[in-house]
Amino acid sequence: MATIKDIAREAKVSVTTVSNVIHKRYSRVASETINRINAIIARNHYTPNLSARSLVNKSSRIIGVINHLFRSQAVSFMQDPFHGALLGSIEKAIQERGYYMMIRTVADEQELFSLFNNWNLDGVILTGLFNDAFFERLLEMDKPLVLLDSYVKNGKVFNVGIDDFHGGFMATEYLVRKGHRNIVFASPLFHGEEGVIKERFRGYKDCLERNGIAFNSKNVYQQDITVEDGMEVGRMLSRRSDITAVFATADILAAGLIAGLIQSDRHVPGDVSVIGFDDLFFSRILTPPLTTIHQDTEERGRIAANTMMDYLEGKETTSRIVTPIKLIERASVARLTLSG
């Protein structure tokens, strides 16, 4: 089996040059040389020895993507449409720059310790992390951390997210402008911790207050975020004649709500209007197509991956990046007409 020295000898270049091409560090290598080395690598079916390289460089070029969110034991991290889109963009960016991705769901600090003890990860990307014992344990591991959709404030980590408060406000304001005043807030379970859902909830409440609408705790529905849970909430809401609109903090939840309402002979948007959040691919093909808050999930995954790799390569990085959001108007929200 060919070695990196064999590749270098055949290409008449140094081992360092071959290494640069393998790791896609092209800045100091001529394009003709890159093509020649890649052709020799392909012809010899050469595969880098990661274990040997890790021992020499103390670097594995493996970036861990860890999930610590347990929305439902029945649905895995990768089955969730939002996280599926996120993971796909992270993996593509990592692959393009010659790194490798490990995906793991970690339940507690003990599993986290075991992961770091058994694998030499260069850095870790995590979603939805809170400032708790798990995060403190992460800091002790002394690895570069990029947090997605987290409101943990710590100078040792990088954050990539959106303005969730503004997103919650924007969704609620749209419903208010359409004439709705008795608006349900539907979301995954959340408590007092600072996070995505709490920020969207704050935006919802602030919008109600600014428009002179009293907040009603009975209009808050919290549950897991699966389609089945959303359908159950939709069936519960169908029994309420007072509410006219729902702000669901995730498209997958909104899809379940719509299905539950329709199964209960309530028309969307004729009886109940629904707005979602995410703008996932299926939002366009629901019946009716879903009005939602768009966030570029794939772009955020790409930014998170490149932030990590830039840091590992000693390039300039930004500690917090906030990507834009916008309202996508479709057919799931009706304008109320005042009677009388």
pTM comes to: 0.82
DSSP line for 149-191: S-----TTEEEEE--HHHHHHHHHHHHHHTT--SEEEEES---
In single-letter form, the type of residue at position 212 comes to G
Class of the 164-295 domain?
Answer: alpha beta
How far apart CA 116 and CA 2 sit, in angstroms, is 32
Distance CA 30, CA 279 (A): 42
Q: What is the pLDDT of residues 186-231, one digit of tens each?
A: 998 886 678 999 999 999 999 999 999 999 999 999 987 788 899 9
Domain ranges for the chain, please list them: 6-44, 62-162+297-324, 164-295
Contact of 171 with 274, CB cutoff 8 Å: no
Superfamily covering domain 62-162+297-324: Response regulator (3.40.50.2300)
Burial class (CB in 10 A: 0-12, 13-18, 19+), 258: buried
Judged against a pLDDT cut of 90, whether residue 158 lies above it is answered with: yes
Contact present, 270 and 244 (Cβ < 8 Å): no
Handedness of CA 128, 131, 134, 135 (dihedral sign): positive
Evaluate whether 62-162+297-324 and 164-295 have a shared fold. yes
Taking the C-alpha atoms of residue 178 and residue 275, their distance in angstroms, rounded to an integer, is: 12
For the chain, what is the mean pLDDT? 90
Instruction: Convert the pLDDT of each residue in 124-153 to its tens digit.
Output: 999 888 888 889 989 988 899 999 999 998
